[in-house]
Amino acid sequence: MQHITDIFFDLDHTLWDFEKNSGLTFKKILSDNNVDIEIERFLAVYVPVNLEYWRLFREEKISKKELRYQRLSKTFKALEYEASDDLIDLLSVQYIEFLSTFNHLFEYTETLLGNLKERYKLHIITNGFREVQRKKIKASGIFEYFEHIVDSESVDVKKPNPKIFEHALELANVAPENALMIGDSFEADILGALKVNMKVIHVDFDKKHKHLLCPIVHHLTEIEKFL
């Protein structure tokens, strides 16, 4: 890829190991609140439920409040565990509070960022909640690598809406043909960035995708060969 000056990363599931950190967070808060469900059993139900509700949130079909409540409510119902509204509200608050205290990055993240920082300006574009994402970035020790951190709440639209990419490009003062988006979500990151004519690299750790729209990598060590 030629003429790239700026690289925009997604955060969760791309650099920051969301599933691992989320699992550790639930393990803590379920234990702290004496919720008698094995963590593996809980996560087996919660993870796909959470992905579905994030899709609805991304499509503007539910609010942030509904997302936080409904993903837990539906999980407990599926597990046939009687959870009061008060417990669900408490867990919802504690989840956000403690999520950023677990900060496992995907292997090679810091090395990759260090190598790229020498040649490019680096930025973040994330659909995550404003109050959480910066905490994650700072606590995991990668804040210093990024020039700009753009979150969907600040722009009031979510990826793949072109407006969030256009805002990020304007903030970085870079033309789309000189910008590269790297992310895991085919819909939000890849299709969204392509709509505004950015170059893209698809991070697919689980090897679930096959397409010819852009390079696909299965490990962060593969990214630099395209630059």
Task: Give the pLDDT of residue 109.
Answer: 98
Q: Please say if the pLDDT value at position 138 is more than 90.
A: yes
At 1 the pLDDT is 84
- Mean pLDDT confidence for 63-82: 96
Class of domain 18-99: mainly alpha
Amino acid 39: pLDDT: 97
Q: Are 140 and 105 in contact (CB under 8 A)?
A: yes
Amino acid 100: pLDDT:
92
In degrees to the nearest 10, what's the CA dihedral of 59, 29, 92, 158? -30
pLDDT of residue 130: 83
In contact, 148 and 112? CB cutoff 8 Å: no
Pinpoint the residues of the chain covered by CATH 3.40.50.1000.
6-16+105-226
Q: Report the pLDDT value the prediction gives residue 34, as an integer from 0 to 100.
A: 97
What is the per-residue pLDDT for 65?
93
Please give the pLDDT value at position 131.
Answer: 82
pLDDT computed for residue 129 by the predictor: 83
Residue 7 clears pLDDT 90, i.e. is over it: yes
Sequence-distant (6+) residues with CB within 8 A of 135 are: 100
**Mean pLDDT over the full length of the chain:** 96
DSSP per-residue string spanning 33-45: TT--S-HHHHHHH
Question: Does residue 139 have a pLDDT over 90?
Answer: yes
pLDDT tens-place string over residues 78-129: 999 999 999 999 999 999 999 999 999 999 999 999 999 999 999 999 998 8
Give me the CATH code for the 6-16+105-226 domain, please: 3.40.50.1000
pLDDT at position 2 over 90: no
**What integer is the mean pLDDT of 176-203?**
98
Is the pLDDT reported for residue 9 higher than 90? Answer: yes
CA-wise closest residue to 12 among 174, 180, 158: 158
Q: Which of 72, 83, 91, 115 is nearest to 28 (CA)?
A: 91
Q: How far is CA 225 from CA 10, 23, 152, 187, 222, in A?
A: 19, 32, 30, 24, 6
Nearest to 103 by CA among 12, 9, 21: 21
CATH 1.10.150.240 domain locations along the chain:
18-99
